[in-house]
Chains A and B, each alone.
Chain A
Amino acid sequence: MTHTAVVVGGNRTPFAKAGTKFADASAQDLLTAAIDGLVARFGLAGAKVDEVVAGAVLKHTRDFNLTREAVLGSALSPNSPACDLQQACATGLEAVIYTSNKIRLGQAKVAIAGGTDSASDAPVVVTEGLRRAMLKANRARSLPERLKAFAAVRPADLMPVPPAVVEPRTGLSMGESQALTTKRWEISREDQDQLSYDSHQNLARAWDEGFFDDLVTGYRGVARDTVLRPDTTLEKLASLKTVFGREGATMTAGNSTALTDGAAVVLVAEESVARERNWPVLAKVVDAQVAATDYVTGNEDLLLAPARAIPELLERNQLTLDDFELFEFHEAFASTVLATLKALEQNGTGTVDRSKLNVDGSSLAAGHPFAATGGRIVASLAKRLGQRGPGKKGLISICAAGGQGAVMILEAM
């Protein structure tokens, strides 16, 4: 017996610029809110789902069981098991892959997949010197021994280590890494600003037409994504100072994603169960692929792994880029999307029709709470494909830290 995993709906919090409206909410609070909104939308209070899978990129040690804790704080039945997984910015998409695979294997019928991140509530850690001293003191058996453990601590060790999104192997931040890619692929400032402008325009239009009425649940008085600037113009974007890269820098705060807080989840079900329950069968999960690049040596780019994953996925499914109605390429930076498009052309995969790309805006306008992005994209794309009609396909591409990328095909039923 074959099982088909279908997306029946989704829910997310609005995404808010870090340090603002959701500054006091933890990743767990946000995930709980996203789950509760989904539960309410589908009338699942007290119901057991077969599994809830989610993760966060910025994780406190207390969050070792983040998703299960969110489930226990939600309106779901406490008998709903949960699993944390993490693949940097691909976390949310990987959670959908995980659940849909379980559904296809018959191990689950109804599952929730997603992710959450609070850049406001990022863990601040102590220095390595202080941490070692504290561990040693903990092992000590007497007061003098305990005091001695701290003798090695230097004043500099007492400074907290602020969070930073830095690649451990290159020491470069995401932005600095992407600046190398931007330069290598000769992505112009104008193209980046245009992509960002389109993202804001498209997202604003989608909000205005009520597209998100059944995809987003307001949270803490915020009803819309707060990064969104419906009134931004190409002139305004062009006037921004560059922030990443040195000579000939082109990347600005306007064409790079802002640090954001938010959470997103998707309701995935086995097709027959979804039909039995009369849930809207928006789209099925056709297939997915992950890939990684050799970015450490500098031979490849940190955020272009999707350009490796997409040809593999298309080949396995005997599809070309022309077979897709819509494309959802996560906008880590405008230049990431543009470089990915170039790379796909260069490696012979084909050309993405720009009019089909991110038609309801993407991360530049919505914001990018790392692990939440996958859930946002899957739910929105599934709904849009469902509106376009049966058989319409969509391609999702998400780049992730560590030179990784995850891609997925959805098809309207």
Chain B
Amino acid sequence: MNILESMYNSPVGKTLARKAGLTDPPKLRRGRVMPTGPVLLGELPGSDGVARVTLGLLGITPGEPIVDVAENRTKDDKGRDVPRPYAAKPGAIVVDATGLRKLTDLEGIRQVLRPVMRGLEGSGRVIILAKDASAVEGLEARAVAQAIDGINRTVGKELRGGATSNLVFLREGVSAEDLASTLSFLLEGRSAFVSGQTWRVGKAKVAHELSDKPFEGRIVVVTGAARGIGAAIARTFARDGAKVVAVDVPQSGDSLAKVANEVGGSALQLDITVADAGERIAAHVAHTHGNDARIWALVNNAGITRDKMLANLDEAKWAQVIEVNLAAEMRINDYLLSHDVPGGFGEEARIVGIASTSGWAGNKGQANYAASKAGVMGYTWELSRQLADRPITANAVAPGFIETALTTAIPFVQREIFRRSNSLNQGGDPVDVAETLAYLCGPASGGVDGQVIRVCGQNLVGA
């Protein structure tokens, strides 16, 4: 901690900072925790009721939202017309906009959102459901779909107190069962650091019921599990019942062993860039869990940075990053997808990768890293397409500024700027990335495929 940071964190510094508008960021609701206030459902015209049925699956009987029309308005203390306030702060509002096809329909979204914009509880939720452009006909309907995306992004930026807004596009044929895992994730604290995001949910090839222990009896392999985000991933999957196989380089052996033992999993010391890494992973799974054991999910988390401005970047630093962050992952997935071996992929395997805001938006000094992470996205999209006829899914997350041992090394002022340059005014926690991955890997998330979800608190960068 340098002098500046100590001053900033002193009582006097805090007071001054608040005067300057640098308020303490809201503490986010995390984990498998629902909002405390009521969950509202704004069912807009044309909907087939999919949101209501989905909420029913989650055991939620939604409340009615206040609609901002003239007769519902009252005067505030300055005499202005404002929406009637809620008696109790709502915890979340789900807006079912799946029936919207005309530009004039968009007014419906405004009507249900205006009253909650300053009325949601801390870490409240706005969740908008709409039809994916691919599932609607006509120019206007497709324009409407994109218009809703613009609303969502703006709402995310305007909400306060750690509240988030996200948009789910429904593909053709999606059912309430397919949607349940997504809605549950978005309502709960698991999605704490996901805001302003949009992704698509389709029909799952195999249906599974939602569960609080979705990975019970399932094996999940996590690379780069010795520390930071990887260790959080191992812990989160273990919390949800997984038998975790924690993989990391032999140099990190002792921290890897600690993580593996802590989560009751096993440790595999492996440099993922070796040619037979996929085989070694399968062999370890078979030796640890028996010949019939199969991998349920593979979390390709291992990654490195070798930052240099392109003007100073040599071929070694270039190759190392691409090799570890993308090439190795592709080789391992490829081996496991094409070999039905003991300890290999199960029929419904979940493959997830880690992209990055740097891949999305580029970042000074990270040409190699940005290449590898943007590559993860391109690879994920194409892999998902190629696996279209198998019930295997491929997805990725793109973390923004996540607080780890690595980020504490960033100079204080720069770090504070990074932290605050998103809608939630703070850095994310490794567990936020882990929760999103666990959601994507959930048995009930079979309809979520080929998606890249940013876990960035709606970072301004590349948004």
Contact = CB atoms under 8 A, between A and B. Distances in A.
B266 A278 contact: no
A220 B253 CA distance: 10
6 contacts: A36-B254, A40-B265, A46-B264, A213-B270, A214-B269, A217-B254
A49 interface: no
Contact of A41 (B267, B286, B289, B290): B267
Given A41-B266, A43-B243, A210-B274, A75 B261 contact: yes
Nearest to A11: B257
Contacts of B250: 212-213, 216-218, 223
B306 interface: no
B291 A216 contact: no
A212 to B, nearest CB: 8
A390 interface: no
B258 A223 contact: no
A219 B254 contact: yes
Given A279-B287, A280-B287, A45 B265 contact: yes
A277 interface: yes
B254 A218 contact: yes
A42 B257 contact: no
A33 B254 contact: yes
A266 interface: no
Interface in A346-388: none
B252 interface: yes
Contacts of A213: 250, 269-271
B256 interface: yes
B146 interface: no
Interface of B: 243, 246, 250-254, 256-258, 260-271, 274, 286-291
A40 B260 contact: yes
A216 B257 CA distance: 11
Nearest to B256: A40
A45 B253 contact: no
A27 interface: no
Contacts of B270: 213
B173 to A, nearest CB: 40
- By CB atoms of chain A within 10 A, which of B254, B256, B258 has the most? B254
Contacts of B291: 278
Most buried by A among B258, B286, B287: B287
Interface string A204-235: 00000010111011111001000000000000
Interface in A18-47: 33, 36-37, 39-43, 45-46
Contacts of A41: 257, 266-269
A43 B260 CA distance: 8
B287 A37 contact: no
Contacts of B243: 43
Interface string A255-295: 00000000000000000000001111000000000000000
B44 to A, nearest CB: 50
A132 to B, nearest CB: 43
Contacts of B267: 37, 40-41, 217
A217 B266 contact: no
Contacts of B251: 218, 223
B261 A36 contact: yes
Contacts of A219: 253-254
A217 B260 contact: no
A110 to B, nearest CB: 14
Interface SS, A side: loop
A216 B258 CA distance: 14
A37 B262 CA distance: 12
A-B pairs, 5 with minimum CB distance: A43-B266, A75-B261, A218-B253, A40-B267, A40-B257
Contacts of B274: 210
A39 B254 contact: no
A42 B267 CA distance: 7
B456 to A, nearest CB: 32
Contacts of A277: 290
Q: Which residue, A41, A214, A220, A279, has most C-beta atoms of chain B within 10 A?
A: A41
Interface in A123-169: none
Contacts of B269: 41, 213-214, 217
B261 A39 contact: yes
A159 B220 CA distance: 58
A43 B257 contact: no
B288 A220 contact: no
A220 B257 CA distance: 12
Given A36-B261, A41-B269, 11 more contacts: A37-B257, A40-B246, A40-B265, A41-B266, A42-B288, A212-B250, A216-B253, A217-B250, A217-B267, A219-B254, A223-B250
Contacts of A218: 250-254
Contacts of A40: 246, 256-258, 260-261, 265-267
A75 B290 CA distance: 22
B265 A43 contact: yes
A26 to B, nearest CB: 16
A45 B254 contact: no
Contacts of A216: 250, 253
A255 B262 CA distance: 42
Given A43-B243, A213-B250, A218-B251, A36 B257 contact: yes
B265 A37 contact: no
Nearest to A220: B254
B266 A42 contact: yes
A337 B261 CA distance: 39
Nearest to B267: A40
Contacts of B268: 41
Nearest to B266: A43
Most buried by B among A42, A210, A219, A278: A278
A278 B288 CA distance: 7
A278 to B, nearest CB: 5
Contacts of A212: 250
Contacts of B254: 33, 36-37, 217-220
A48 to B, nearest CB: 14
B386 to A, nearest CB: 31
A195 B287 CA distance: 37
B206 to A, nearest CB: 27
A187 to B, nearest CB: 36
Given A213-B250, A218-B251, A43 B258 contact: no
Given A43-B243, A218-B252, A278 B257 contact: no
Nearest to A39: B261
Contacts of A280: 287
B288 A217 contact: no
Contact of A45 (B252, B256, B260, B289): B260
Nearest to A76: B261
A214 B267 CA distance: 10
B261 to A, nearest CB: 4
